Chains A and B, each alone.
Chain A
Amino acid sequence: MAGSTSSGAPAAARAGATRVGKSVFGPDEMRRALTRIGHEILERTDGAGDVVLLGIPTRGVPLARRLAERLAETEGVRVPVGSLDITLYRDDLRLRPARTLGRTEVPGSGIDGQVVVLVDDVLFSGRTVRAALDALGDIGRPRAVQLAVLVDRGHRELPIRPDYVGKNLPTAKREVVRVLLTETDGQDCVTLARLGEEDR
C-alpha cells in the first residue's frame, strides 16, 4: 500500500458491496433518467455549448462522465468534465473525525463565463451543494451554476433546489439512500434502507 499514488482506491474496497435495503431504482431506470437529464441539459442550455460538468466525489464524478457521454451521443457536443471536492468547505468538519480528501480536477478551459452543472448522486440537506458553491467561488466565476442529481430525497436544510432530477424519492429522515454505480460499486442501483440496517 505504501507508495500508492493517491486516494482513488475506495472503489475497490466497496466494489461488490452487498446490497442492503430494498432496491428502488434499477439499472434500466437509471440509464433512462440520465438520458433524460442529458436532453434537459441540452434544452435548457441551448445545446450545451458552454457547459462544464463538475462531479462531486465520490459518485458524482462517474455520473458527470456518463452525462457527458449522453451529450456526445445525442448532439455530438464534447463537454469538459471535471470533479470538485468539497471536503475542505464542509460546515460539519468539527462534528466528525477528519475526512480524506477527494480529487478536484477543473478542466483546462476553466469555468470563467461558463455554465457549470454540478453533478451529485443524492440531494438531501443541501449542505454539500452549499459547500460546492463556496468551492466554485475560489476557482473562478461561472456565468451560471446549475445542479443535477440522480436522486432528490427531500429534507432540505438550506434554500437550494436542483435543476435536473433523475428521481424524486420521498423518504423518512431515518432512512438511508445509497446510490451504487458500476464504476465504484460494481452495479447500478439505488437502495433505500432503515437506519441501523446498514452502518453509516
Chain B
Amino acid sequence: MNRHLISAADLSLVDAVAILDTAEELARLAERPIPKLPTLRGRTVVNLFYEDSTRTRISFEAAAKRLSADVINFSAKGSSVAKGESLKDTALTLQAMGADAVVIRHSASGAPHRLARWIRGSVVNAGDGTHEHPTQALLDAFTMRRRLGRLDGLRVSIVGDILHSRVARSNVWLLRTLGAKVTLVAPPTLLPVAVDGWPCSVSYDLTSVLPGSDVVMMLRVQHERMSDAYFPSVREYRRRYGLDSDRMALLPDHAIVMHPGPMNRGVEIAAEVADSPRSTIVEQVTNGVAVRMAVLYLLLSGSREPDEPAVADDAELVTAGGLTGTAERWQIKP
C-alpha cells in the first residue's frame, strides 16, 4: 500500500480489496460494547479542512478516535489562513507539531498531492476541488458490496453533475479497478470535456439506463461551483435527471439507490426515494467510519521506510510558485 491516499486511481485491486476487507472486520467491531481500539495510540491525525464539510470531517474524526489516535481539527476559518498563510507554511507547522497523518480537504485540485511532498506523515485526500474524493468512493464500493454481495460485473449508473463531482471521478476509477461497469448519466453540459477517455460509458437519458442498473448513484447539483447556466431551470433538470418514485420503479428489484450527500431533496432525488428501503444514504454514512478507520489503520499502523525526504527538491518548490500567497491563490495542474 502507498504511504498516501490521494487518488482512487492509484489503488491497485489488491490494495482496494484489502481496504474493503479490513473495513468489513472493523465494521463488526463497532457493534461491541466498547468500540474503541488501542491501535493508533500515540499517533496524531490532523484534519485540515479548507472547505466546509460536515460528514467527512466528523467521519474522519470518529474513525481516528475509535482507533485511539489524537485528533487535531483545523478549519481555514479562524486560523492563520485567514491572515494569509500559505498551504506550505501551514504544512510545515503541522510537520513541526509531529502530525502522523494529515486529512486534507481543499478547493484546489491537487492540493493533497502538493502537501504530500512537504510533510513526513501520510496524506489522506478528503476531497480536492473537482479532482477526487477517494474515501467516499471506497465507502460507496463497501456499501455496494455489503448490500449486493459483489462488485465484479456490477452495473453502476452515476447520475447528475459529473463535471463538478470529485465523487464521480473517484468512483469511476475505483469501480473500474474492482471490476464494475460504470455508466455516467448527465446533460451534456455537466459532463467533462475529456469524458471519452474515462473507463466508463456515457448516456444522456436516465429513463433508458435505469432498467439495466444494479446501483444508481445520484449526485448533488453543486450550485456553489456553478458560475454559468448549465441547464435551463431546476424544474427541467428534475424532470429529466431527477429520481422520483416512478423512475425508481424502473429499477430491477434488487437495485439500490445511493447518494453521497448532502442531498437536495426535490431536485436530484425525491424525498420518498431518499427515505425508501432501497436507499443506502444513512448506511453510507455509517460505513464511512469503518472505511476511514481501515484507511488510517493501513496507512499508519505499519513500519515506515527509514528517512524518506519530507521536503521535495528545490526545483519542485520553484514550480509551485506563488507560495507566499494564500492557499486559494495558487493553482495546480491536475
B-contacting residues of A (Cβ < 8 Å)? 1-7, 85, 88-89, 93-104, 106, 134, 138-140
Q: Is B191 an interface residue (CB 8 A)?
A: no
Contacts of B240 in A (CB 8 A): none
Interface of A is mostly: loop
Residues of B within 8 A of A102 (CB): 25
Is there an interface contact between B39 and A89, defined as CB atoms closer than 8 Å?
A: yes
Q: Which residues does B use to contact A, with CB under 8 Å?
A: 1, 13, 16-18, 21-22, 24-26, 28-29, 32-34, 36-39, 67, 145, 149-152, 154, 177-179, 297-299, 301-303
A3-B178, A85-B25, A104-B25 known; A138+B18 contact, CB < 8 A? no
Distance between B114 CB and nearest chain A CB, rounded to angstroms = 25
Contact call A100/B22, Cβ cutoff below 8 A: yes
- Return the chain B residue nearest A5 by Cβ: B149
Nearest 3 CB-CB pairs, A to B? A3-B150, A98-B302, A3-B151
CB distance from A9 to the nearest CB of B (A): 9
Residues of B near A106 (CB, < 8 A) are 32
**CB atoms of B302 and A97 under 8 A apart:** yes
Q: Are B21 and A100 in contact (CB-based, < 8 A)?
A: yes
Beta-carbon contact of B33 and A139 below 8 Å: yes
Contact residues in A for B145 (Cβ distance below 8 Å): 3, 5
Question: Are B33 and A140 interface neighbours, CB within 8 A?
Answer: yes
A101 pairs with B13, CB closer than 8 A: no
5 residue pairs bridging A and B, Cβ less than 8 Å apart: A3-B178, A3-B179, A88-B29, A94-B302, A98-B298
A2 touches B33 (CB 8 A): no
Contacts of A97 in B (CB 8 A): 302-303
Contact (Cβ within 8 A) A3 B149: yes
- Residue contact A88 to B303, C-beta cutoff 8 Å: no
Decide: B17 and A1 in contact? CB cutoff 8 A: yes
* Complex interface: chain A residues within 8 A of B25 (CB): 6-7, 85, 101-104
Inter-chain contact A6/B21, CB cutoff 8 Å: yes
Nearest-neighbour CB distance to chain B for A127, whole angstroms, equals 14
Given the known A-B contacts A4-B17, A98-B301, are A104 and B150 also in contact in the complex, defined by CB atoms under 8 Å?
no
Contact A101 B1 (CB under 8 A): no
Decide if A138 touches B32 in the complex (CB within 8 Å).
yes
State whether A93 touches B13 (Cβ < 8 A): no
Interface centre among B18, B38, B152 (most CB of A within 10 A): B38
Known interface pairs A2-B179, A5-B149, A93-B302. Does A98 touch B33 (Cβ–Cβ under 8 Å)? no
The answer to whether B297 and A98 have CB atoms under 8 Å apart is yes
Given contacts A2-B152, A3-B179, contact A138 B34 (CB under 8 A): yes
Task: Return chain A residues, CB-CB under 8 Å to B299.
Answer: 98
Contacts of B149 in A (CB 8 A): 3, 5
Q: Which of A7, A93, A134 contacts B21 (CB 8 A)?
A: A7
List of A residues within 8 angstroms of B67 by Cβ: 88
The answer to whether A88 touches B39 (Cβ under 8 A) is yes
Cross-chain contact B303 with A95 (CB below 8 angstroms): yes
Complex CA gap A101/B154 in Å reads 26
Asked if A2 and B302 sit within 8 Å, CB to CB, the answer is no
Taking a contact as CB atoms under 8 Å apart, the answer to whether A98 and B36 are in contact is no
CB neighbours (8 Å) of A94 from chain B are 301-303
B28 CB contacts on chain A under 8 angstroms? 103-104
Output the least CB separation between B44 and chain A (Å). Answer: 14
The answer to whether B22 and A101 have CB atoms under 8 Å apart is yes
Q: Which chain B positions have C-beta within 8 A of A3?
A: 145, 149-152, 154, 178-179
- Tell me whether A89 and B297 are in contact in the complex, defined as CB-CB below 8 angstroms, given that A7-B21, A98-B1, A139-B32 are known contacts: no
* Most chain B CB neighbours (cut-off 10 Å) among A7, A101, A139: A101
In the bound assembly, the distance between CA atoms of A4 and B17 in angstroms comes to 8
Which residues on B sit within 8 Å (CB–CB) of A88? 29, 37-39, 67, 297
20 further A-B pairs in the complex, CB-CB below 8 A; given A3-B178, A6-B24: A2-B17, A2-B151, A3-B150, A5-B149, A7-B22, A85-B25, A88-B29, A89-B39, A94-B301, A95-B303, A97-B302, A97-B303, A98-B1, A99-B301, A99-B302, A101-B22, A104-B29, A138-B36, A138-B37, A140-B33
Closest CB-CB distance, B258 to chain A, in whole Å? 17
* B21 neighbours in A (Cβ, 8 Å): 6-7, 100-101
